[in-house]
């Protein structure tokens, strides 16, 4: 279902005509529906009610602010700020585009009274509490609008507008939006959990601690049983690259056996005992590096395991300190 989003464009008018045209064009190129009341100031209660309805019907509120505060109502508040305050009160997603260097704007496009300058400064400060981007000319403004508005639906999902023949029942659509929000919350929760370091008992062997593994092999019709000691880091560095997509215990056994065939055991076809493989599996689970599951007993890295694999196997830079000795970074 293809959506188009309505964007309410708010600004002073006389000083920003060219900039408004550039913004309108950028919005149209994004398949958005620009809406604004620049030629229809809220000088009466009836007109202000109309403006509020247009803001209500819009998905997003966009403010352009430069060197003028604009005309004011009887209470002294500018009509542009009235629109902004209403969008703020109603919870409309707001993005403001402020001139980066208002002090460099030509005098004929700035406030000429201390009161106007003071109101503009206060309004500008208020807008900076929400999402703000900066611009220096109409071209940079159009680019900033294009880049920002394209991202808004992901940051702030909105109802949007669809063709009548593509419309979905409002109840169903609300359920979809609610489900989308729940999915996003679950993703964020899972991400937080995945980024946590497991609470591992301090007395568990790990890292450069050594473990003894039992294996056997046959040579010239004789059966030999042997032991070898390797560090847990060596074991994890050996098997972890195969675990991102998951491997069975038998596959892991073959990878470990290949890694242990060195020196006098080269080409002898060593066989790790089942007890040794189980010892490795249980320890890696206890250290929070892998999880086992599935019908085939697949071993697979946890998110913490993925990070530990990258830490151990990634290529590090070698720098030199002031004494010209190599330093690992």
CA neighbor of 78 nearest in space, from 23, 11, 8: 11
Same-domain pairing of 32 and 132: yes
CATH of residue 219's domain is 1.10.10.10
- Please check the confidence at residue 204 and state whether its pLDDT lies above 80: yes
pLDDT (tens digit per residue) in 135-156: 999 999 999 999 999 888 888 8
Domain assignment present for 204: no
Contacts of 86 (CB under 8 A, 6+ apart): 51, 52, 55
Domain assignment present for 36: yes
Contact 270, 217 (CB under 8 A): yes
pLDDT (tens digit per residue) in 68-80: 998 888 889 998 9
Average pLDDT over residues 105-112: 90
Alpha helix stretches (DSSP H) within the chain:
17-29, 45-57, 79-89, 114-127, 138-155, 170-195, 232-239, 249-260, 274-286, 303-313
Domain assignment present for 100: yes
Same-domain pairing of 131 and 218: no
CATH of residue 55's domain is 3.40.50.10140
Contact 168, 1 (CB under 8 A): yes
User: What is the three-class DSSP state of 326?
Assistant: strand
Domain assignment present for 190: no
Task: Give the DSSP letter string of 286-306.
Answer: HTTSEEEETTTTEEEE-HHHH
Domain that holds residue 143: 6-175
Q: What is the pLDDT of residue 80?
A: 92
Domain assignment present for 253: yes
Q: How many CB atoms lie within 10 A of CB 316?
A: 8
CA neighbor of 50 nearest in space, from 14, 85, 20, 86: 86
User: What is the three-class DSSP state of 285?
Assistant: helix
User: What is the three-class DSSP state of 123?
Assistant: helix
Domain assignment present for 196: no
Measure CA 319 to chain center.
32
Same-domain pairing of 24 and 165: yes
Same-domain pairing of 130 and 260: no
- Please check the confidence at residue 86 and state whether its pLDDT lies above 70: yes
Same-domain pairing of 160 and 290: no
Same-domain pairing of 168 and 291: no
Extract the tokens encoding 234.
């060596």
Extract the tokens encoding 317.
């830079």
Contact 34, 23 (CB under 8 A): yes
Same-domain pairing of 99 and 233: no
Same-domain pairing of 159 and 231: no
Across-strand partners of 64? 97
Contact 211, 229 (CB under 8 A): yes
Same-domain pairing of 116 and 243: no
Same-domain pairing of 29 and 129: yes
Measure CA 284 to chain center.
30
Average pLDDT over residues 11-19: 90
Same-domain pairing of 110 and 253: no
Q: Which of 156, 175, 194 is the last residue of a domain?
A: 175
Domain assignment present for 246: yes
Q: Which of 125, 151, 175 is the last residue of a domain?
A: 175
- Please check the confidence at residue 38 and state whether its pLDDT lies above 90: no
Place of tokens 């290949």: 258
Same-domain pairing of 158 and 272: no
Domain assignment present for 198: no
- Please give the DSSP secondary-structure letter assigned to residue 242: G
Average pLDDT over residues 180-209: 74
Number of domains in the chain: 2
Contact 156, 7 (CB under 8 A): no
């Amino acid at each position: 279902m293809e959506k188009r989003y309505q964007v309410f464009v708010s600004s002073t008018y006389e000083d920003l005509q060219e900039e408004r045209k550039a913004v309108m064009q950028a919005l149209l190129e994004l398949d958005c529906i620009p809406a604004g009341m620049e030629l229809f100031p809220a000088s009466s209660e009836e007109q202000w009610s109309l403006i509020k309805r247009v803001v209500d019907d819009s998905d997003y509120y966009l403010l352009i602010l430069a060197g003028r505060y604009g005309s004011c109502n009887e209470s002294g508040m500018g009509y542009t700020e009235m629109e902004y305050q209403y969008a703020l009160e109603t919870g409309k997603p707001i993005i403001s585009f402020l001139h980066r260097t208002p002090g460099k704007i030509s005098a004929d496009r700035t406030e000429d009274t201390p009161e106007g300058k003071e109101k503009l400064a206060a309004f500008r400060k208020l807008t900076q509490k929400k999402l703000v981007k900066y611009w220096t000319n109409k071209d940079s403004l159009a680019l900033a609008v294009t880049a920002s508005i394209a991202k808004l639906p992901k940051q702030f999902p909105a109802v949007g507008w669809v063709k009548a023949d593509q419309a979905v029942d409002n109840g169903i659509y609300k359920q979809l939006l609610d489900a989308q929000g729940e999915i996003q919350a679950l993703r964020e929760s899972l991400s937080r959990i995945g980024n946590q370091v497991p609470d591992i008992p301090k007395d568990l062997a790990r890292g450069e601690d050594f473990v003894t593994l039992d294996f056997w092999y046959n040579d010239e019709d004789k059966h030999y049983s042997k032991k070898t000691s390797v560090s847990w880091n060596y074991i994890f560095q050996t098997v972890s690259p195969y675990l991102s997509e998951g491997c069975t215990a038998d596959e892991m056994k073959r990878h470990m056996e290949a890694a242990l065939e060195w020196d006098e055991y080269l080409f002898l076809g060593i066989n790790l005992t089942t007890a040794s493989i189980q010892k490795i599996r249980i320890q890696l689970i206890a250290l929070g590096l892998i999880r086992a599951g599935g019908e085939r007993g697949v071993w697979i890295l946890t998110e913490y395991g993925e990070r530990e694999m990258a830490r151990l196997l990634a290529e590090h830079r070698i720098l030199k300190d002031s004494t010209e000795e190599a330093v690992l970074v």
